[in-house]
Structure 1
Amino acid sequence: MTATNDRTDLLNALPLRDDLRGKTPYGAPQLDVAVTLNTNENTHPVPDDVQAAIVQEVSRAAAGLNRYPDREFTVLREELAQYLGHGLTAENIWAANGSNEILQQLMQAFGGPGRSVLSFVPTYSMYPILSAGTNTAFIPGQRARDFTLPPESAAEQVREHQPSIVILCSPNNPTGTALDDEVVDAVYQASEASNSIVVVDEAYAEFSRNPAATAIRLLDGRPRLVVSRTMSKAFALAGARIGYFAAAPQIADAVRLVRLPYHLSAVSQATALAALRHRTALLADVESIKMQRDRIVDDLKRMGLGPSESDSNFVFFGGAFDARALWEYLLERGVLIRDVGIDGHLRVTAGTEEETTAFLEGVESYLESAAAPPA
């Protein structure tokens, strides 16, 4: 018997919740390769001057680490509101350890036993995992065959299922496509009968072809609408784990009922504040990343593949190829991309120009080798 089997038997001997038995933890491959383009990170390093500013801010926080941090992280909420604009104040803002914890807290507050969360698959794979962890039933809503989400279809599914929470991922992961205002509005109106919380997950909003088209514009007059954001992507702070949402003040009040005390550490708060105060430098690479994203789309089309038009920092693409074989071929060349488990499709993060070139050259080489007749 292998060590893995031994561990599984030991795990099963514990009084684990029945609905968790047989499950596997979430986790994308973390492999030591030259080009890592599988988890939608910002592959540009944090600029030296921003690193220095973060160190300085964290150093100040370190002097008081014997005390609990500001439980309300008031200054951070004020500066996040200033960054988002649209007349928001600190009362509209909440933050946590990554947008995953934001979503978890929302499910803790508005989900739970006997309640459900609806999202439209394929979408972010953490939604059903967070649902399971909060004993909230996950309902996999349906998209069109081309993975789009027509407003009429989305609204009808909300009326049919009457979920406690609806999550709209925009730009969507893994397809990279953004939702029009009409979809958000149709879902919100359809959710009135079930009094559902409607969450628009905008983790990749800064990479949108039209960043001004954010659901934050729709918050006024919609007290059940929540817009979730993260500093992991455009801000290049995936390792810092800072997420936040904008919503009516009473949504934050609800989350306060379930959050752990002092959940956002003084170090996290200091890091986020330094990043926000140097956001011009941190966000300077966004346009470069968008250029590489669009380059990927154009070159994959030239190769005869079918990439989605992306509003994120990644590209979802399909075609007449063996997805697993292409994934393995690229890995052998030191390029790691994401197999999202959808037949005939893969996803790649837009990296630096050099990383993007390595990916595109690898794909072209694979297609040429796959098309060549056997010797």
Structure 2
Amino acid sequence: MTPTPTTGLEALPLRPELRGRTPYGAPQLQVTHRLNTNENPHPLPAELLASLGEALGHAALELNRYPDRDAVALRSDLAAYLSRGGEHVEPAQVWAANGSNEVLQQVLQAFGGAGRTALGFTPSYSMHPIISAGTGTAWADGHRRADFTIDPAAAVAQVRELRPDVVFVTSPNNPTGTAVALQTITELYDATSYGHGRAGVLVVDEAYAEFARTGTPSALTLLPGRPRLLVSRTMSKAFGMAGLRLGYLAADPAVVDALQLVRLPYHLSSLTQAAARAALAHTDALLATVDAVKEQRDRIVAALPALGLTSVPSDANFVLFGRFADASAAWRALLEHDVLVRDVGIPGWLRVTAGTPAETDAFLTALGEVAPDHRLGD
């Protein structure tokens, strides 16, 4: 019997909360200057490429065997890296997965799910509500001020009212670049203790932490004594290894035990673990590009006022800039100049990744052509 062809998603028994949604993804267009996905624009150093070849070749000899299910050696290396900042992190406090998105998915599988709620302060990382939907977790939008900062009193009040099971705080925030004060994080953590045996977990998403301006502390400093605080990181940004897909978090060892209840067996391949460990052995060389990226970020910020534009203070490797009468029209105009930035859906604003000096030149030149016709008030 020949099966009857379907006509699309409407013919499938899709979960109701997924109907009408579209997959996450930034436009992947063939343009000269791609400044829309917050990648580190600098190529990997030659010495790392040599080490990668050796490490992957060695790992390939045992591809007929399953990888280390718990990635113990990798987690030890990640703990050592996190401890470089002065806060001691044990391997038992670290968990790793295929990108920080998988880490966050596992967090929601363990602490969210049907009948539970996640809260995030939007605009923020758009994958948080998407992963929530994928795990059957209800989503609630938290509030931000007009300048995109979090009002601690209002945020705490909202947490106490909604009593979410998972609270997301992105610092530095994507897409605005704003860092969140540790005092605000502390107050939010305290608010997630609801009494009568009920509590939520607080996830601080620090994907861009290495790009923070001098004096901006990490939530890693808050981990001692806070067993429901989780700090997630990635090797995609500062390490310049977006193609590796390696994310990780630091938390109380009990949180790591919880995540192992939902992780798929052997979820991190032998090749991924080997590549990540090789990269961590070259941490200093990889992070040497961070200052260069920050320099271009600050250069963009400094150039905007002369173009009649402004920006949000950024502790990340990107800049949210505006204001435009029509951000979508400004995005298209920049694309016509062979420059791809990100329209993040905030009226009047666009986001640009800090690239190489040549890419910054191209962006600022194009923006100089585009701004007079598209900035607000002109």
Shared topology, TM-score over 0.5? yes
Task: Note if contact 1:300-1:307 (Cα within 8 Å) is conserved in structure 2.
Answer: yes
Q: Quick one: distance in 2 between partners of 1:327 and 1:114?
A: 39
Which segments of structure 1 move beyond 2 Å, counting only runs of 4 or more? 7-11, 367-371
1:330-361 superposed Cα distances (whole Å, 9 cap, x missing partner): 11111100000111000000000000111111
Could you tell me which residue of structure 2 aligns to residue 176 of structure 1? 177
1:38-92 superposed Cα distances (whole Å, 9 cap, x missing partner): 0101111111221111111111100000000000111111110000001111100
Q: How far 1:17 moved relative to its partner?
A: 1.4
Q: 1:12-91 to 2 correspondence within 5 Å?
A: 12-85=10-83, 86-91=87-92
Q: 1:263-274 to 2 correspondence within 5 Å?
A: 263-274=267-278
Q: Quick one: distance in 2 between partners of 1:247 and 1:301?
A: 41
Task: Note if contact 1:97-1:243 (Cα within 8 Å) is conserved in structure 2.
Answer: yes
Could you tell me which residue of structure 2 aligns to residue 108 of structure 1? 109
Structure 1 pair 320–8 and aligned structure 2 pair: CA distance change class (3 A): farther
1:173-196 superposed Cα distances (whole Å, 9 cap, x missing partner): 000000011110010011111411
Could you tell me which residue of structure 1 aligns to residue 100 of structure 2? 99
Q: 1:157-172 to 2 correspondence within 5 Å?
A: 157-172=158-173
Q: 1:231-310 to 2 correspondence within 5 Å?
A: 231-310=235-314
Computed over aligned residues only, the root mean square deviation of the Cα atoms, in angstroms, reads: 1.3
1:199-234 superposed Cα distances (whole Å, 9 cap, x missing partner): 000000000003760000000000000000000000
Could you tell me which residue of structure 2 aligns to residue 121 of structure 1? 122
Secondary structure of 1:285's partner? helix
Q: How far 1:93 moved relative to its partner?
A: 0.3
Structure 1 pair 157–331 and aligned structure 2 pair: CA distance change class (3 A): same
Q: 1:317 aligns with which of 296, 315, 321?
A: 321
Task: Note if contact 1:96-1:242 (Cα within 8 Å) is conserved in structure 2.
Answer: yes
1:110-161 superposed Cα distances (whole Å, 9 cap, x missing partner): 0000000000000001111100000000101111111110211211111011
Q: Quick one: distance in 2 between partners of 1:302 and 1:205?
A: 29
Could you tell me which residue of structure 2 aligns to residue 352 of structure 1? 356
Task: Note if contact 2:205-2:233 (Cα within 8 Å) is conserved in structure 1.
Answer: yes
Secondary structure of 2:199's partner? coil
Structure 1 pair 288–17 and aligned structure 2 pair: CA distance change class (3 A): same
Q: How far 1:363 moved relative to its partner?
A: 0.7
Greater shift in the superposed pair: 15-24 or 281-290: 15-24
Structure 1 pair 109–97 and aligned structure 2 pair: CA distance change class (3 A): same
Q: Quick one: distance in 2 between partners of 1:143 and 1:223?
A: 26
Q: Quick one: distance in 2 between partners of 1:23 and 1:235?
A: 32
Matched, 1:220 2:224: yes
Q: How far 1:274 moved relative to its partner?
A: 0.5
Q: Quick one: distance in 2 between partners of 1:226 and 1:195?
A: 14
Instruction: Return the letter of the residue paired with 2:331.
Output: W
Could you tell me which residue of structure 2 aligns to residue 332 of structure 1? 336
Structure 1 gap segments, 5+ residues each: 1-6
Q: Quick one: distance in 2 between partners of 1:245 and 1:291?
A: 28
Structure 1 pair 75–288 and aligned structure 2 pair: CA distance change class (3 A): same
Instruction: Return the letter of the residue paired with 1:185.
Output: T
Task: Note if contact 2:329-2:374 (Cα within 8 Å) is conserved in structure 1.
Answer: no
Q: Quick one: distance in 1 between partners of 2:370 and 2:56?
A: 46
Q: Quick one: distance in 2 between partners of 1:56 and 1:321?
A: 53
Task: Note if contact 1:170-1:178 (Cα within 8 Å) is conserved in structure 2.
Answer: yes
Could you tell me which residue of structure 2 aligns to residue 3 of structure 1? none
Q: How far 1:8 moved relative to its partner?
A: 8.4
Q: How far 1:11 moved relative to its partner?
A: 2.3
Could you tell me which residue of structure 2 aligns to residue 156 of structure 1? 157
Q: Quick one: distance in 1 between partners of 2:325 and 2:200?
A: 41
Q: Quick one: distance in 1 between partners of 2:305 and 2:265?
A: 50
Q: How far 1:10 moved relative to its partner?
A: 2.7
Task: Note if contact 2:297-2:354 (Cα within 8 Å) is conserved in structure 1.
Answer: yes
Q: How far 1:167 moved relative to its partner?
A: 0.5
Instruction: Return the letter of the residue paired with 1:101.
Output: E
Structure 1 pair 362–15 and aligned structure 2 pair: CA distance change class (3 A): same
Q: How far 1:169 moved relative to its partner?
A: 0.3
1:246-304 superposed Cα distances (whole Å, 9 cap, x missing partner): 00000000000000000011011001000000011111110000000000111012222
Structure 1 pair 8–173 and aligned structure 2 pair: CA distance change class (3 A): farther
Task: Note if contact 1:205-1:211 (Cα within 8 Å) is conserved in structure 2.
Answer: no
Q: How far 1:314 moved relative to its partner?
A: 0.2
TM-score of the aligned structures, taking structure 2 as reference length: 0.94
TM-score of the aligned structures, taking structure 1 as reference length: 0.95
